[in-house]
Structure 1
Amino acid sequence: MITTPESGEQRTPAHARVVRDIIFSAPAGFRPLTLDLHLPEAGRPPVIVFVHGGGWFRGSRRVFCPGRTEAETFGRLTRAGWAVASVDYRLSGEARFPAQLADVEAAIGWVLDEGAAMFGLDATRVALWGESAGGHLAALAAAVPGTPVRAVVDWYGPSDLAAIPKPVGAPGASVQPSREELLIGGPLAEHRELTEAASPVRAVHAGVPPFLLAHGTDDSMVPSEQSLLLRDALHSVGAHVELQLVAGADHMWRGLDDLETVVAPALRFLALHAGPPESAR
């Protein structure tokens, strides 16, 4: 069942048509999960399911990439002919993994069913795009056997949780759980099975859709080696993968003057592997 806000459709500063606060899932015992649907002018558009970042413990579906405008993110994608379903998921303070993966799967299911029926979305051309923690969840969702997803864009997402260095606190300070430990529900060494299940390098297989990985070489939060590990894992199973390393860029593309450096290749990749939008044919 779909619920829309009383205000209905809105127009963003990027002049896109947006339907906000659509309930796509209501997990028992948790808050309803919602998405914002950004729609292009052309009918029956292909769909990008976008998964936000924030270390799994914060973040917002309203933000595509922190510090970047809506016009150069959501608006850029709708101008290229894509619908974008930007989705919520349960944060690590609400539920531990794999709840987050289940929520992304539920969002994909909504696109295939209610979204296609009520908004005319093309359920045969669905892609995933995630940023940071969202890239991690997008990669895992794409590795679910039988996924309808046709292509994945993973921006600087963690891929092997056990290989991410834990931040070192100040001398004498109490040791705080890492983002990864909050997601898993405790020290990774004590939850090895769950840590492996939450690591895309362990989940990929020959049947995964094509991947585009993009990562800044100076990423101070998720080392670029994480994308190298996922690239190698995808290569090892014979999957199609492309890697864009952006020299000097930090997390969230800080230090990158023009976001088109990473957006344009991603859109070309999606057009090739998920089918070009009708407007681009």
Structure 2
Amino acid sequence: MASPSNFRAVYKVVDKQEIDVDVYLPGSRASNNEAHPVIINIHGGAFMLGSSDMINKDQIQDCLSRGWIVLAPNHRLCPQVDLMDGPMRDCRDLLAWTYDGGLQEALASQTTTPYHLDLDHVFAFGTSSGGTLALSLGFGVPRPVAGIFDMYGPCNFSDSFWTSELHQIASKLPPGLTPEFINRVYAEDPVPIRGGVSLEGQAPGAPNFNDPRQAFAFTQIARGSVLKTIYPKGDWDVVDPLRNISASFPPTFIVHGTEDVMVPLSLSKDLHAMLVENGVKCGLQEVPGEGHTFAAKMAVRSRTWELQQNGFNFLQSLIN
């Protein structure tokens, strides 16, 4: 059996639908008996778009160079399932799959190289909505992750920002996007686990407004109705990371651009303040001049790259 550098595994099945995760393996360091930390790397996309393919490959390589195993999951996309029952539940089930031996079994079936897992150091990382999902692995689960790296993830869902229109997005919407057209997303069967374009700005490029899902998602963003759409129950105590911070919350590092208008820096500052108030080991790195989704376009060894790398260094410090 060959030893692949990456492979795809199924971590859960819902109504006969397979939900999968891309597993990336470190190289030559895997030949010894060291135990490998695991990091769950969750894509962004306003909980309605994106896929495991649409994450920064340089960040994956950074983690692999540290000897970590990287898990890049797909999850069911809103709005056919809500935030709790879809994306959040799937990511929490992936965490349980990792802890309960599912990852070890998948590794054994795919490679002859013996990978020893350091399950005391399972981390969560995500960008934008993926940051929120990473934070959700720190509460509401039997065994939280050991540390979290959140890049500009939405939080503080009762803030007035979340019902504000985003005119810079509205101006990009083409005319003629009727409710009948965009609401076709509700008829998609099964619930998609891969959605069109990435909000991180990666391939396949600009939004395709001929695709109902992409048109639907950008319309909700423009109207300030994302949260109402993805979690109509509005019970923020259940899903808002900020409302679930306690003294036992995992160590958390936040990275956020100073020019972000899609998820304002002030929201991450609110989260950081709550972490500090509860005595949680934490950090907040502001990245000057960067807006939302900068993770997709940053160049390795640039100043932006070095600043965001502090998040991975923070997780590394939890091991050392």
Change over 3 Å in CA distance of 1:118–1:35 after alignment to 2: closer
Shift, 1:93, TM fit: 2.7
Pairing 1:83–2:130 present: no
Aligned counterparts of 1:108 and 1:222: Cα–Cα separation in 2: 26
Shift, 1:80, TM fit: 2.0
1:33-52 alignment, distance < 5 Å: 33-41=19-27, 42-43=29-30, 44-52=35-43
Aligned counterparts of 1:268 and 1:224: Cα–Cα separation in 2: 21
- Structure 1, gaps ≥5 residues long: 1-7, 11-16, 186-190, 277-281
Aligned counterparts of 1:30 and 1:203: Cα–Cα separation in 2: 33
- Code of the residue aligned with 1:182 in structure 2: it is T
Shift, 1:256, TM fit: 5.1
Name the counterpart of 1:155: 151
CA deviation string 1:47-99 (max 9, x = no partner): 0011110000001111224xxxx2x2212211221110001111113310212
1:150-189 alignment, distance < 5 Å: 150-163=146-159, 164-165=161-162, 166-168=164-166, 177=220, 178-185=225-232
Change over 3 Å in CA distance of 1:19–1:236 after alignment to 2: same
Structure with more contact order per residue of length (Cα contacts < 8 Å, sep ≥ 6)? 2
Given that residues 285 and 308 in structure 2 are in contact (C-alpha distance below 8 angstroms), is that contact kept between their aligned partners in structure 1?
A: no
Pairing 1:264–2:251 present: no
1:50-61 alignment, distance < 5 Å: 50-61=41-52
Aligned pair partner of 1:104 in 86, 91, 103: 91
Query: Which secondary structure state, in structure 2, belongs to the residue aligned with residue 125 of structure 1?
Result: strand
Query: Which secondary structure state, in structure 1, belongs to the residue aligned with residue 63 of structure 2?
Result: helix
Given that residues 116 and 122 in structure 1 are in contact (C-alpha distance below 8 angstroms), is that contact kept between their aligned partners in structure 2?
A: no
Shift, 1:157, TM fit: 0.2
Which of 1 and 2 has greater Rg? 2
Shift, 1:124, TM fit: 2.1
1:13-32 alignment, distance < 5 Å: 17-20=5-8, 22-27=9-14, 29=15, 31-32=17-18
Aligned counterparts of 2:16 and 2:267: Cα–Cα separation in 1: 32
TM-score, normalised by the number of residues in structure 1: 0.80
Between the two proteins, what is the percent identity of the paired residues?
Answer: 24
Aligned counterparts of 1:200 and 1:148: Cα–Cα separation in 2: 13
Given that residues 148 and 253 in structure 2 are in contact (C-alpha distance below 8 angstroms), is that contact kept between their aligned partners in structure 1?
A: yes
Aligned-residue Cα RMSD (Å) equals 2.6
Aligned pair partner of 2:289 in 248, 254, 266: 248
Shift, 1:102, TM fit: 1.4
Aligned counterparts of 1:203 and 1:180: Cα–Cα separation in 2: 17
Aligned counterparts of 1:86 and 1:218: Cα–Cα separation in 2: 27
Aligned pair partner of 1:236 in 277, 296, 312: 277
Query: Which secondary structure state, in structure 2, belongs to the residue aligned with residue 161 of structure 1?
Result: coil
- Structure 2, gaps ≥5 residues long: 108-114, 180-218
Query: Which secondary structure state, in structure 2, belongs to the residue aligned with residue 46 of structure 1?
Result: strand
TM-score, normalised by the number of residues in structure 2: 0.71
Given that residues 261 and 291 in structure 2 are in contact (C-alpha distance below 8 angstroms), is that contact kept between their aligned partners in structure 1?
A: yes
Name the counterpart of 2:254: 213
Given that residues 150 and 255 in structure 2 are in contact (C-alpha distance below 8 angstroms), is that contact kept between their aligned partners in structure 1?
A: yes
